[in-house]
């Protein structure tokens, strides 16, 4: 099969879908790569490195398979050939126009977000690889913006107490934020509605924040959280407001797939924080975990700095791209026959589960519902 990789055009997108190291490995399994000139430049992968790894420079949309990072724009969909295969983040539950456009263009599309989170598909899990980058970065931003030290210091000028950090949501990004803030020496607490993560939080040297919510466990299918009821959410916000007041920094990562992020940090909670405190809201893109977050902005309210980063993974484009490329490589491996030829097995649960559009139709159940397609 031949795979082409275009230069990403979405604003602020610095990642690239394949990196030279992966191009070389694909070549060994009979998969040829064509890369658009400059596609890797913002992630610090020069064209010459791709050529040395065996890629050709050329049209990023001409391959049997097109590998991308960000969801395609209407213009990019227009460049895809009918019958071609597209791999990338497609936001299938929210980007309704994109999904409709791909179906109409006759593209067989696979969303990285829709790859089933089963053990066999772990190496393809781009949500996890990119959330790892985002969680790490969020911890650094919190440390950078806080006008205080993270670690405890004993100096000739006296002792500095360590910062207290609360991480809300202990999924992949949250756990990485916990690990990174711990390494920087902060005292870290974390909360999640899935009780299964308590042990993971503790194994990273943080404390699980016990909230008396009367909640047994909110784990739903696929290991994700279920949405809380209005009463549960209200209770959570009230209990958290008090705890947040004791923190120097809050890193919030709580999410429920396909929905607005749960609102966890109220204006009152922000008021309860001491002057100079920091909130890094990783859920900014999906509405924010904090009431005062503005996506893509840094705002100061009540002398608390509230940062709402978008596409944080793209701010570390080298490693974010290299991990993403390995995810794509694994998926391509599943799409290839023995000679590296394109061979899509729709009986395979990973291939079937990740497929969003095929033969002019939206075939993914969640995407069909989002697009209002009836049976």
Residues marked active site are found at 117, 122, 125, 128, 224
Q: Least distance to ligand NAD from the beta carbon of 42, Å?
A: 25
Of 85, 80, 35, nearest to 60 by C-alpha is 35
Query: If you count DSSP H runs as helices and E runs as strands, how many of each does the chain have, helices first?
Result: 12, 17
DSSP state of 304: E
Measured at CB, which residue is nearest to ligand NAD? 171
Pick one of 66, 69, 225, 244: the residue that binds ligand NAD (CB under 6 A): 225
* Candidate ranges 10-18, 37-45, 257-265, 348-356; the one touching ligand NAD (CB under 6 A): 257-265
* Candidate ranges 19-27, 32-40, 248-256, 307-315; the one touching ligand NAD (CB under 6 A): 248-256
Pick one of 42, 76, 125, 248: the residue that binds ligand NAD (CB under 6 A): 125
Q: Does 192 bind ligand NAD (CB under 6 A)?
A: yes
CB-count exposure of residue 169 (10 Å: 0-12, 13-18, 19+) = buried
Q: Least distance to ligand NAD from the beta carbon of 34, Å?
A: 31
Q: Does 128 bind ligand NAD (CB under 6 A)?
A: yes
Of 287, 336, 328, 280, nearest to 308 by C-alpha is 280
Q: How far apart are CA 159 and CA 161, in angstroms?
A: 6
- Full DSSP string of 235-294: HHHHHHHHHHTT-SEEEE----TTSPPP--B-HHHHHHSPTT-EEEETTGGGT-SBTT--
Of 64, 50, 71, 36, nearest to 335 by C-alpha is 64
What is the total count of residues that contact ligand NAD (CB under 6 A)? Answer: 30
Task: CB nearer to ligand NAD: give 3 or 95.
Answer: 95
Contacts with ligand NAD in 266-325 (CB under 6 A)?
none
Contacts with ligand NAD in 129-158 (CB under 6 A)?
131
Q: 55 is written with which tokens?
A: 């890629």
Q: Does 193 bind ligand NAD (CB under 6 A)?
A: yes
| Contacting residues toward ligand NAD, per CB under 6 A | 117, 119, 122, 125, 127-128, 131, 168-174, 191-194, 223-225, 228, 236, 253-257, 262, 264
């Amino acid at each position: 099969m031949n795979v082409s990789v275009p230069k990403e055009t979405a604003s602020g997108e610095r990642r690239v879908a394949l990196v030279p190291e992966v191009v070389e490995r694909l070549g060994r399994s009979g998969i040829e790569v064509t890369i658009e000139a400059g596609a890797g430049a913002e992630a610090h992968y020069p064209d010459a490195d791709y050529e040395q790894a065996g890629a050709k420079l050329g049209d990023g949309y001409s391959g049997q398979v097109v590998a991308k990072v960000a969801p395609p724009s209407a213009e990019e969909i227009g460049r895809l050939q009918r019958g071609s295969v597209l791999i990338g983040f497609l936001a299938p539950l929210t980007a309704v126009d994109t999904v409709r456009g791909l179906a109409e263009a006759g593209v067989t599309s696979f969303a990285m977000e829709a790859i089933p989170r089963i053990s066999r598909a772990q190496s393809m899990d781009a949500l996890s690889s990119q959330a790892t980058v985002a969680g790490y970065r969020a911890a650094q931003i919190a440390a950078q913006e806080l006008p205080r030290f993270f670690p405890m210091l004993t100096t000739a000028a006296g002792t500095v107490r360590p910062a207290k950090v609360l991480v809300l949501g202990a999924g992949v990004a949250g756990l990485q934020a916990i690990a990174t803030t711990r390494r920087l020496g902060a005292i870290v607490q974390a909360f999640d509605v899935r009780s299964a993560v308590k042990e993971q939080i503790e194994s990273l040297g943080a404390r699980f924040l016990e909230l008396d919510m009367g909640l047994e466990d909110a784990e739903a299918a696929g290991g994700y959280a279920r949405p809380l009821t209005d009463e549960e959410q209200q209770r959570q916000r009230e209990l958290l407001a008090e705890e947040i007041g004791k923190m120097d920094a809050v890193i919030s990562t709580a999410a429920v797939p396909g929905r607005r992020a749960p609102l966890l940090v109220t204006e009152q909670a922000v008021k309860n924080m001491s002057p100079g405190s920091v909130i890094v809201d990783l859920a900014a893109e999906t509405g924010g975990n904090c009431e005062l977050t503005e996506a893509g902005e840094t705002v100061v309210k009540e002398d608390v700095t509230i940062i709402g980063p978008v596409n944080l993974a793209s701010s570390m484009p080298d490693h974010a791209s290299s991990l993403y490329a390995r995810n794509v490589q694994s998926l391509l491996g599943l799409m290839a026959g023995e000679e590296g030829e394109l061979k899509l097995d729709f009986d395979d649960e990973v291939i079937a589960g990740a497929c969003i559009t095929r033969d002019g139709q939206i075939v993914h159940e969640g995407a069909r519902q989002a697009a209002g397609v009836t049976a």
